[in-house]
Amino acid sequence: MVGIVLVSHSFELARGLADLAAQVAGPDVRIEGAGGGPEGSLGTSGDAVQAAIDRAESGDGVVVLADLGSSILTVRHLLEDAANGQVRLADAPLVEGAVAAAVISSTSQPLEVVLQAAEEARGARKL
């Protein structure tokens, strides 16, 4: 199944969202949070993101979702260095995209379909 990595400036946000998405998707989808800087500060660590990608990879690829500015830049920089096409950054809202990607991954869909589900979550209306 396609793995999912959630990158945030906040450790708590990344971990909490990973827990939520995992509860929706079930135990077979690898969902990893990568958030916060050194010593619990706000920020994004390229090493933490790369480690999360490595843990999430099961052979079917990884979809990465990120929250804001520098977290997106961090992921883009990592993907430039290791551009194999199996790790894709979604242009998607973090929460809605994570849940959509997790649900679709749990149905054993390929990388492109999971990525598309995350990105289509942008149009989800709440009212």
Catalytic residues: 9
Q: DSSP 3-state assignment of 89?
A: strand
Order of strands, sheet of 87-89, starting from the edge strand that comes earlier in the sequence: 31-35, 3-8, 62-66, 87-89
Q: DSSP 3-state assignment of 91?
A: coil
**How many Cβ atoms sit within 10 Å of the Cβ of residue 55?**
15
**What are the CA-CA distances from residue 8 to residues 1, 3, 72, 98, 118 (Å)?**
23, 17, 9, 12, 16
Q: Compute the C-alpha angle 6/79/15, nearest 5°.
A: 15
